[in-house]
Amino acid sequence: QVQLVESGGGLVQAGGSLRLSCAASGRTFSRYGMGWFRQAPGKEREFVAAISWSGISTYYTDSVKGRFTISRDNAKNTVYLQMNSLRPEDTALYYCAVRRSMYGNTVVGINEYDYWGQGTQVTVSS
């Protein structure tokens, strides 16, 4: 059974940094792309960043480009999201997810991912 467990969320002031982690189990992690999504209260879940199975390709939504960095350590079955220069509008519940299909490139659609973590809360104060 696939399990994804996020950690690293918290309360931070605007301009600060956080590093989210997502530990995966139950699937050959190194064969699957991973993604980070977020959902703010009253809003739909939205794509944040994705990384290919190899870690070579990454993709970001425009609002986080230059501030967030997604990476992975296949030896540890873990994907990370380094978040710098945080803004109040980054406040949300952050989820990691694993792609439905092996290999392939980065994808942004929610339906391309079939397993999700429980989420970790990120709150940025102004």
> Cα-atom radius of gyration of the chain, to the nearest Å?
13
Q: Is the pLDDT of residue 16 over 90?
A: yes
Q: Is the pLDDT of residue 105 over 90?
A: no
What's the pLDDT score for residue 7?
98
| Phi, psi dihedrals of residue 72, rounded to the nearest 5° | -145, 155
What's the pLDDT score for residue 104?
83
Task: Decide: 86 and 14 in contact? Cβ < 8 Å.
Answer: yes
Task: Decide: 51 and 58 in contact? Cβ < 8 Å.
Answer: yes
